[in-house]
Amino acid sequence: MSRISLIAAIIFTIQLGVGSAQDLGSPNAKKGGTFLYNLGAIPTTLHPLTGTDAYNQTVQDYTLDSLGVRNPDTYEWVPALASSWEVSKDGKTFEFTIREGVKWHDGKPLVAEDVKFSYDAIVHPQNKYGTAHLKPYYEDIEKVEVTAPNKVKFFAKQPNYNNFNVAIGLAILPKHIYENPTKEQEKKLNKTIIGSGPYKFVSLDRNKGLTFKRNPDWWGNNIEFFKHYHNFDQIIMKAVKDETIEVTMLEKNELDFIGMNAEVFHKKTNGPKFGKSVHKIKYKSQAARGYGFLGFNLKEPLFAEKKVRMAMAHLMNREFMNEKFLFGESELATGPWYKQSEYANPDVKPITFDPKKATELLADEGWRDTDGDQILDKTIKGEKVKFSFTILEPLPDFVKYLTVFKEDAKKVGVEVNIKVVEWNTFLKLLDERKFQAMRLAWGPGAIDIEPKQIWHSSSYANQGSNFIGYENSKVDKLIDKARSEFDKPKRVKILREVYKIIADDVPYIFFFNSPFSYYGHTSRLKRPKDNYNYTVGLGYWWLDK
């Protein structure tokens, strides 16, 4: 929904880039052609309010607009749907002037009431629009008022360093489409998306993918800042999950661009076409980083005790996985956001592979093999329980990591089962809290960390993103305190404490934080440079037809 609220991602994702500024593109950029992009999976829904996965977010990046966008080299806000804005001296009100002449994809004009609706839908008290995953970002905004036909004002309940960011980053939706659809219309809205953005949705085919065409009426076409931006006439987003097939399609020009991990970059891209008709790029940037994790359902008695979760972390041989699968190019993650962030606590050290320590911790909690079946057991509430659990995994390519964990856990008497689950089913099980453990990844999010959506206890209800049920009253208080702290060094100090507390609680086994990103592209896909400071910058690329 919001440009600053990437939700869930299956794999380590690459930011696609929505920022723009003068001279960021290339004067050599050509307009036209069909860009073939691998989205990875069809979004669970295309509805911009209820969609929670990164696939939905990518679709939004091409079809919706926000009031402002980030400059990909400076990270500063640039006018988008808002041509200008004013911030009050006390920092509690933000008034935006809506750009003239903006049209929705159906031809109707965009008005200030659409901005108000986009906010009201997110914070609806009865969660009418299924937006609990977004609500934490906007809870310090008291209301939005239309002050003129082309002006809208956001009022903050209290000072919060992130209030302006969430206001200007709000993706704007057409009120006449999304406010009160009938049940039949609602079903159709799950299979389409209507915005004011540079591309219009054309079709969805679960086998062929998603098709979009350039919006000839996009307001940005006549703005100098966007002169060399969004150059493709058509975009086809395919849904290829298998990494080997993905690379093969790139080599055959059936895809123009793929994101990669280290294993694909080093091991699967050494064919004769690489360096000639296809290319691979490894780069560093200042962008926020996503990370993968194994999350425990903390409502499950099996994982209620911290020592048990710590034991599981000591059984995860990340050192071996990094060397074998990631070519030693990642760092072991230490906590709830990427360790390269200034908000990460540098004193927190990674939990290392130590089966002996794991065995000791499990014994401390009463887990022993009492019947000689090679599986630890314990009496809980008068019933003997075996230490056996199932991990839900949405991505077959990650199973090899979990298999290493499974075999090491087996040696100390812990039975681990791995169940690969189709993406839509996986999300449904998370929403219903029907899992023991699951493997997932969070997308990068914002540079200035906002942990409430994932780590505050209030984010558990209404299918919020704290689906593991993590609760720590001190963490709640510190997160709330950080949100109202404008002094960045002080906010960093607060959130570093949050980082340490969460890491000590071991609600996840945090996998890796890579300082590198990787992608592959065809020769016909041209670009001004490999990447911008805060994004890859696909929006500035073009096709040499």
3 state SS of 259: strand
Calculate the alpha carbon distances from 380 to 244, 377, 388 in Å: 45, 9, 14
- Counting beta carbons within 10 angstroms of the beta carbon of residue 194, is it exposed (0 to 12), middle (13 to 18) or buried (19 or more)? buried
Of 296, 262, 288, nearest to 509 by C-alpha is 296
CB 220, CB 226: distance < 8 Å: yes
Taking the C-alpha atoms of residue 349 and residue 147, their distance in angstroms, rounded to an integer, is: 51
Calculate the alpha carbon distances from 12 to 156, 175, 262, 330 in Å: 34, 34, 10, 12
- As a whole number, mean pLDDT of residues 30-49 equals 93
Taking the C-alpha atoms of residue 385 and residue 112, their distance in angstroms, rounded to an integer, is: 59
For tokens 């507390």, the residue is: 501
**Residue 181's Cα: distance from chain center in Å?**
28
Query: Which two structure tokens, joined as six digits, stand for 353?
Result: 């592979």
pLDDT tens readout for residues 179-203: 998 888 888 999 999 999 999 999 9
Band (pLDDT 50/70/90 cuts) for residue 4 is: very low
CB 58, CB 236: distance < 8 Å: no
**What secondary structure does DSSP assign to 61-119, as a single string?**
HHH-EESEEE-TTT--EEESSEEEEEE-TTS-EEEEEEPTT-B-TTSPBP-HHHHHHHH
pLDDT tens readout for residues 493-525: 999 999 999 999 999 999 999 889 999 999 999
Taking the C-alpha atoms of residue 335 and residue 504, their distance in angstroms, rounded to an integer, is: 9
pLDDT above 90 for 429: yes
The secondary structure of 426-452, three-state, reads HHHHHHCCCCCEEEEEECCCCCCCCCH
Given this model, what pLDDT does residue 17 score? 37
Instruction: Report which of residues 21 and 480 the model is more confident about.
Output: 480
Which DSSP helix (H) or strand (E) runs through 278? Answer: strand 278-283
Identity of the residue numbered 333? A
Which CATH fold topology does 291-513 show? Dipeptide-binding Protein; domain 3 (3.10.105)
Of 136, 514, 504, nearest to 345 by C-alpha is 504
Given this model, what pLDDT does residue 9 score? 35
Instruction: Report which of residues 540 and 135 the model is more confident about.
Output: 540
pTM for the model stands at: 0.80
Taking the C-alpha atoms of residue 495 and residue 498, their distance in angstroms, rounded to an integer, is: 5
Quote the crossing angle between the two packed helices 399-410 and 318-325, to the nearest 10°.
140
pLDDT above 70 for 12: no
For tokens 């009492």, the residue is: 370
H-helix segments, 368-422:
399-410
The residues facing 418 across adjacent strands are 391
- As a whole number, mean pLDDT of residues 197-215 equals 94
Portion of the chain with pLDDT greater than 70, in percent: 96
Portion of the chain with pLDDT greater than 90, in percent: 71
Of 395, 327, 277, 3, nearest to 167 by C-alpha is 3
Long-range contacts at 61-64 (CB < 8 A, ≥ 24 apart): 61/3, 61/16, 61/18, 62/197, 62/198, 62/199, 62/212, 62/235, 63/105, 63/193, 63/194, 63/195, 63/197, 63/199, 63/200, 63/201, 63/212, 64/171, 64/172, 64/173, 64/193, 64/195, 64/196, 64/197
Taking the C-alpha atoms of residue 147 and residue 272, their distance in angstroms, rounded to an integer, is: 62
pLDDT above 80 for 5: no
pLDDT tens readout for residues 286-323: 888 889 999 999 999 999 999 999 999 999 999 999 99
pLDDT above 90 for 359: yes
The residues facing 377 across adjacent strands are 368, 386
pLDDT above 60 for 10: no
Taking the C-alpha atoms of residue 359 and residue 446, their distance in angstroms, rounded to an integer, is: 39
**Residue 367's Cα: distance from chain center in Å?**
37
Given this model, what pLDDT does residue 8 score? 35
CB 157, CB 142: distance < 8 Å: yes
Given this model, what pLDDT does residue 23 score? 59
Query: Which two structure tokens, joined as six digits, stand for 499?
Result: 């980082």
pLDDT tens readout for residues 65-108: 999 999 999 999 999 999 999 999 888 999 999 999 999 999 99
Taking the C-alpha atoms of residue 538 and residue 15, their distance in angstroms, rounded to an integer, is: 9
pLDDT tens readout for residues 441-479: 998 878 888 899 899 998 887 778 899 999 999 999 999
pLDDT above 60 for 21: no
pLDDT above 90 for 278: yes
Residue 251: CA count within 13 A, CB half-sphere? 14
**Residue 417 φ/ψ region, left for φ over 0, alpha for ψ in the -120 to 50 degree band, beta for the rest:** beta
What are the residue ranges spanned by the domains of the chain? Answer: 291-513
Q: What is the DSSP letter of 216?
A: T
Identity of the residue numbered 341? S
